[in-house]
Structure 1
Amino acid sequence: MDRKQVSLLFLGDHGVGKTTLIKSMIYESFQQNVPPILNPVIEDRNGIQTELIDTNVLNYSKTCHQLASINQCDTWAIILVCSQTYPKSIGNVLTKWLVMIQEQNLRIPIIVACNVMDNRDIIQSHYSDCCVFGPEFKECRQIEHFATLDFKDSKAVNALLETAQKIAIFPLCKLQDLNSKTKYSFHPDVINAFRRIFMIYDEDRDGYLNDTEFDLLHNDCFKNQPLQPLTIQKFRSFVEQIDPDAISEKGFTLAGFLIVWEIVLEYGSCECIWTLLRHFGYNDCFHFQQATGLPDFEKTKVYTLTPPGIEFLTDVYEYYVKNMNEKGNDTDSQLRRVSLIFSVISDSCFPWANFGYPYCTVMDENRQILPLRGFLALWFMIVFLEPAMARKYLSCLGYGYTRSKKVENSNYDLSCPITECNFSRNTFLALVFGSPSCGKSSFIRGFLEKPFVDSIPSKERVYWAVNSVKKSSCISQDNDRSSPSFSSDQSSTHLILHEVDLKVPEISNLPYLSRSNAFCVLYDNSSHESFSYAEKLIFALVSQVPSVPIVFIATKSDISPYITKNSIYMSKQLNISSPILISSKNGIYNSVFETICSESANAIYPSTVKRQHTTILLAFICSSLLWLGYQTYRSKLVKRHY
């Protein structure tokens, strides 16, 4: 719901004047005759579309359903109506209606309006609220406003409506931790949001927000209200009195930054806090929402990170991950710290949560530390597979807000860290096929630079893997080509492997098939059954997906290579490259990953690959016809002999 739209729900005992109050708000004058209940009405008041929702308290189940249907991420407020004519209705505000709201776990603002119609003594009293509401009402922090008014007074009714609109748009109770004993303490989600804002504007990455950075934050959020130097000095003195360790010559720490906004909250300026949070894309549930109006990503195109995007992610890694490793060796500290970065997004903690993180890329397993190469590889993978989700998470991290590290004279759109790939590709996807127990998992472990194990732990069993690979043209002839050649260069080629277990007829229904750049067909070099499975699989792939190249790989070549001659003969018949012999157990890969990248790069020119696969298909058909003719000829000879 937009900030120009507000919903107000009216609750209270029967006969206290809920419908009368709504009618007075609609017509801006007292209405003598009103129906028992009104249908929801939308009124445009003060430039705000306000929905007024009446309730029928005689239908208890329907009222509970109305409360349960409230979306707390939208702009809502509840007006509890009572009447001095019915004193019991005032007590029911706490004992009945407030309990009902709390049972629904609704953290939305509440306004209590007491109808004191025809009681001029209370209306004219300066302490009218104290006369009607006892101290127990003040203890409920979810109640943000008390009003005693005559529903016949149109000015008082209009003032109540304006107050309700403002409270709904800038609710105090949503900012507070209602379970905390401290009155002006922030909700944990608000603290996470402030942590993200602090990280974005700490541009020198020293862990402090200096005066320049604080002023930059204020100017971005409140453009028409420049921050005076005297104001910063006042904040400094306040923070120093509360917590001397939260302020230094370098500026405010994160704790000091939170204290500043607690002071703002205590002085009743929650409107400033909501302006700040919404400037950074937060809704009323403190979940990050991406800006609207951004261009959509086309499914037929491929995307990658721009150089400014790579620089930004490197900066984020240095700030959150590397610094954490230098402070301690807690094995969970790094993952917990990264989790806090994405805690403002409602769908999941990590953009790669469904891809087997953290075992889907290279990492130091002894210390459970993710290197920069692995961190960037994960981002290249998610940008390649799910660019829209990647853009959302990058915006969450603060890309587009910081300005000090932008690449000057760049041809890239600095507002978006993702760009379309044309013929210059640095990320490829290869699907890995093969018979059961042919060594696919060990092949992927070798790709992730992990040692060979006879039995892979279930938690480390992944179907997705990504790593950076040196380009084939960059490999020296003098290098040892038996082991994989990986690169730590940020701009190197990134290869994504996805292990697939399926039957041949299911090939056309594979996810990400349209984005695949190569097929890796593995077979056990010591098994006839595995070789036969691979042969059928290659024919199915060629016939169903003729535009994708095939890399033929023979695993377990250290055991018994007697299938090699048959595989080489079949490769010649199908006009494909001979199988690459690898041994995961001995760490021998014969530059297979570089070959996959080279074949994937050639797949950019679809006509070349299509001609190659057409030749393969024709060769396979010709060999099949020759074999069929030979068998027919033999059968005729046998018949003549007998």
Structure 2
Amino acid sequence: MSVQPTYSGRRTGVRVVVAGDRGTGKSSLIVALATETFADNLPPVLPPTTLPADLYPDGIPVTVIDTSSSMESSMKRSEELKRADAVMLTYACDQPMTLSRISSYWLPELRRLEVNVPVILVGCKLDLRDEHDPMNMEAVMTPIMQRYREIETCIECSAATFLQVPDAFYYAQKAVLHPTLPLFDQETQSLQPRCVSALRRIFTLCDHDMDGALNDQELNGFQVKCFNAPLQPEEIIGVQRVVQEKLPEGVNENGLTLDGFLFLHALFIEKGRLETTWAVMRKFGYEDDLKLRDDFLTLPFKAAPDQSVELTTEALEFLRGIFRLHDTDNDGAVRPTELDMLFATAPESPWSEIPYLDAAERTALGDLTLNGFLSEWALMTLIDPKKSMANLIYIGYRGDPASALHLTRRRKVDRKKQKTERNVFNCFVFGPKNAGKSAIINSFIERPFSKSGTTTTGERWAVNAVDEIGGNKKTLVLREIPEDEVKKLLSKKNSLAACDVAVFVYDSSDERSWKRSKELLAEVARKGDESEDYLVPCLLIAAKDDLDPYPMAVRDSLGISQELGIEAPIRVSMKQSNLNNVFGRIVHAAKHPHLSIPETETRKNRKKYRQLFNRSLTFVSVGTAAAVVGLVAYRAYAARKSASA
């Protein structure tokens, strides 16, 4: 199915550090490889040795670092080990104690230093082993390799006879350029989940007629793309025969199935041909962690702090199609198992952790509706456009990535034009503890009101579509800012740049809650005063309206609203399901970014200054115009006088 591949990753070199007990043959091993000679009198530690790029098929140079095993050199050795791409641990075949030290000292030491790279165990001085005391290498090494999964392979060699010396360093280079661990689980003897996901995506991309199998033409197209050489008809028959003998369902009347495709790659890996599978992975853009390379995910723009990113109509249509494809029972929602299948070609489901976990509306059975599905994508695109673009590609988006994302206009321009073209609004939800923020957020994504009174800790996100007057929909993102995180948030330079509107929730029955919410509003307003680029519309929300109100809060909040020139507090009760169109009013404030901005003393003074400055300019302009007219009149008079003379 393949020809001998060359390395197609982005590494330009491999750094191999050789360590082990004194007298195990480290330096002799390195010299033998570099010079193909055996030397007796060597310095305690060799200088770095660079092997030529053409020594091995992948064409990548290897730099070999010798180390001392002495206690005095432990710090230097540790530094080198931490910089290694691969580590070769040596033992002497004629000194059994040095082999014991591999598992009793050296491997635990690498773990202590957190050296997470492939390890090659190398037995040196094979020519000196006692012929009357042969060692069963498999029996000795298997328990060690089972305990220390970082061991890539074991090999014994002789510098004196040059036996398997190049092979030892080849395995070290190969372990770096074509690592086993991302592809294959040695313990279960099966492909890693991410490897399966990547191969599933590659298979889907190559299955052009979408019949679930690679026919001869599709298989040849895959072969040419990855290895620049077509398969002969007899080779295709041979591949299918091998698969069918071991896995009957791996081939059907249409060609090689996904199961057969996965089986072939598992077979390559088991036979030590990892470079074949890695050549495929890298041709389709995968890094060693089996995620797409950064150059596949370059955003087509650079966003200013007060710009946001949204999905285009083309991307949304693609997502609706993908949703319908996986909604097998056509009930308008995808079950968790269906959602897993939807993301089966991605490294993992992107919504399995905060902030996406439980951020969107679901049915009573926990299924994700189309609205919830698109809302999750809107949230991911807003806060992590690169991740959104990557997952679009993972699940099969074949258009130009630039056509999937749209960069919105700067918010300061929207404010000047007194309107916005955005479809997704980011709302920061401030408020003291127990003010009712969580109840509002739960209501937003159709979660029932809880009477338990429990409070949430940490930041939380929620996203949903909101109906506008006129029948249009906008997507609103609520980001709950914990009270004890406000100071940290506002200490950042552009902390409010991503905020389309800020709301301040308080318990209308509690004096402290109102006072603290008022303080938070003042802090946010002052932050906006630092730069007019980041002024934010603000709204007050009086929660728990079913309780007896705190009288001073009612009067004070109305006064504060009038003083700052913002809307009067929106009174809501989640317990009584009295929402007072709060989410629509938040969207309305975000749509009109020039309104609802607190008129602080700083802003008022700034406006007065501008008015005075503009008046001065007007006065100067009028005076200048008068002077110009006078000068023209004088010149005309002087000209007439001169002519009459």
TM-score normalised according to structure 2 size = 0.71
- 5 Å-filtered alignment, 1:200-599, equals 201=206, 214-222=219-227, 224-266=228-270, 268-284=272-288, 286=290, 289-291=293-295, 294=298, 297-298=302-303, 300=305, 301-314=307-320, 317=323, 322-323=327-328, 333=337, 343=347, 350=350, 353-355=353-355, 357-364=356-363, 366-394=364-392, 397=394, 403=398, 406=399, 413-414=400-401, 417-422=404-409, 424-455=421-452, 463-474=460-471, 492-502=474-484, 508-509=490-491, 512-527=495-510, 530-546=513-529, 547-559=535-547, 567-568=557-558, 570-599=560-589
**Secondary structure of 1:545 counterpart:** helix
Q: Who is 2:67 aligned against? A: 55
Residue pair 1:352, 1:382 contacting (<8 A) in 2 also: no
Instruction: Give distance in 2, aligned partners of 1:539 and 1:497.
Output: 19
User: Structure 2: how far apart are the matches of 1:332 and 1:6?
Assistant: 43
3-state SS, counterpart of residue 474 of structure 1: coil
Change beyond 3 A, Cα 1:109–1:323: farther
Residue identity in the other structure for 1:508: L
Q: 1:340-399 CA deviation, whole Å, 9 max, x = no partner?
A: 66656xxxx6467232x43222112x311122322322222232223344445555x256
Question: How far did residue 156 of structure 1 move?
Answer: 7.8
Are positions 1:110 and 2:120 aligned together? Answer: yes
Q: Residue type of the partner of 2:599?
A: H
Q: Could you tell me whether the CA contact under 8 Å between 2:152 and 2:175 is conserved in 1?
A: no
Alignment of 1:84-95 (within 5 A): 88-89=94-95, 91=96, 95=100
Instruction: Read off the aligned partner of 1:577 and give its amino acid letter.
Output: E
Whole-angstrom distance in 2 between the partners of 1:438 and 1:166: 59
- AA aligned opposite 1:378: E
For residues 398 and 421 of structure 1, do their structure 2 counterparts lie closer, same or farther at Cα, with a shift above 3 Å needed? same
**Counterpart Cα distance in 1 of 2:291 and 2:132:** 38
Q: Which 10-residue stretch deviates more, 533-542 or 436-445?
A: 533-542
Q: Tell me how far 1:426 sits from its aligned partner.
A: 1.6
Equivalent pair of 1:144/1:173 in contact (CA under 8 Å): no
Identity of aligned residues (%): 25
Question: What amino acid does structure 1 have at the position aligned with 2:354?
Answer: N
Match of 1:613 in 2: 599
The alignment partner of 2:599 has SS state of helix
How many residues are matched?
A: 562
Residues 250-274 of structure 1, C-alpha deviations (whole Å, 9 max, x = no match): 5544432221212333555322112
Q: Quick check: 454-463 or 386-395, which moved more?
A: 454-463
Cα pair 1:555 1:582 within 8 Å, conserved: yes
Looking at structure 1, the residues matched to 443 and 310 of structure 2 have their Cα atoms a distance apart, in angstroms, of: 25
C-alpha separation between the residues in 2 aligned to 1:284 and 1:539? 49
Query: What displacement does 1:135 show?
Result: 5.5
Report the alpha carbon displacement of residue 504 of structure 1 after superposing the two structures with TM. 8.3
**What is the identity, as a one-letter code, of the residue corresponding to 1:108?**
P
Q: Residues 404-432 of structure 1, C-alpha deviation per residue, up to 9 Å, x if partnerless?
A: xx3xxxxxx53574331125312211122
Are residues 1:3 and 2:11 paired? yes
- Change beyond 3 A, Cα 1:63–1:247: farther
Instruction: Measure the CA separation in 1 of the matches of 2:98 and 2:386.
Output: 47
Residues 109 and 173 of structure 1 are in contact (CA less than 8 Å); yes or no, is this contact kept in structure 2?
A: no
Tell me if structure 2 keeps the 8 A contact 1:78–1:111: yes
2:3 matched to 1:17?
no
Give the distance between the partners of 2:14 and 2:545, measured in 1 at CA: 69
Match of 2:591 in 1: 601
Superposed displacement of residue 171, structure 1: 4.9
**1:38 and 2:46 correspond:** yes
Task: Supply the AA of the counterpart residue of 1:496.
Answer: L
Mapped to 1, the partners of 2:508 and 2:455 lie a distance apart of: 25
Quote the residue 1:483 is aligned against.
none
Is residue 314–residue 403 contact of structure 2 (8 Å, CA) maintained in 1? Answer: no
Q: Distance in 1 between matches of 2:439 and 2:133?
A: 77
2:589 partner letter: E
Tell me whether 1:170 sits opposite 2:168 in the alignment: no
Q: Which amino acid in 1 is paired with 2:379?
A: M
Q: In the superposition, relative to structure 1, how do residues 220 and 312 fare at CA in structure 2: closer, same or farther (>3 Å)?
A: farther
In structure 1, how many angstroms separate the alpha carbons of the residues matched to 2:466 and 2:442?
15
SS in 2 for 1:374: helix
Matches of 2:367 and 2:32, distance apart in 1: 64
Report if aligned partners of 1:111, 1:164 keep a CA contact under 8 Å in 2.
no
Q: What is the distance in 2 between the residues matched to 1:461 and 1:208? A: 47
Task: Evaluate the alpha carbon distance shift between residue 213 and residue 308 of structure 1 in structure 2; reply closer, same or farther with a 3 A threshold.
Answer: farther
Amino acid at match of 1:53: I
Distance 1:100 1:208 in 2: 51
* CA distance in 2 between partners of 1:293 and 1:343 (Å): 15
C-alpha contact (below 8 Å) 1:465/1:496 kept by paired residues = yes
Change (3 A) 1:374 1:213: farther
Measure, in 1, the Cα distance between the counterparts of 2:71 and 2:101: 15
Pair 458,432 (structure 1): closer, same or farther in 2 beyond 3 Å: closer
CA offsets 1:100-137 (integer angstroms, 9 cap, x no match):
565557773636465467x9xx9xxxxxx999874537
Matched residue SS, 1:353? coil
Q: CA RMSD in A?
A: 4.8
Structure-2 residue corresponding to 1:78:
88
| Mapped contact 2:120–2:171 kept (Cα < 8 A) | no
Q: Secondary structure at the match of 1:430?
A: strand
Where does the alignment leave 5 or more consecutive residues of structure 2 unmatched? 1-8, 146-150, 410-419, 530-534, 609-645
* Cα contact 2:90–2:123 (8 A) shared by 1: yes
Whether the 8 Å CA contact 2:490–2:524 is kept in 1: the answer is no
Superposed displacement of residue 275, structure 1: 1.0
- Structure 2 counterpart of 1:421, one-letter code: T
Q: Per the alignment, in what secondary structure is the counterpart of residue 455 of structure 1?
A: coil
Cα deviation, 1:190-212, whole Å, max 9, x if unaligned, reads 34543454455566766655556
Structure 1 residues not aligned, in runs of 5+: 123-128, 407-412, 476-486, 623-642
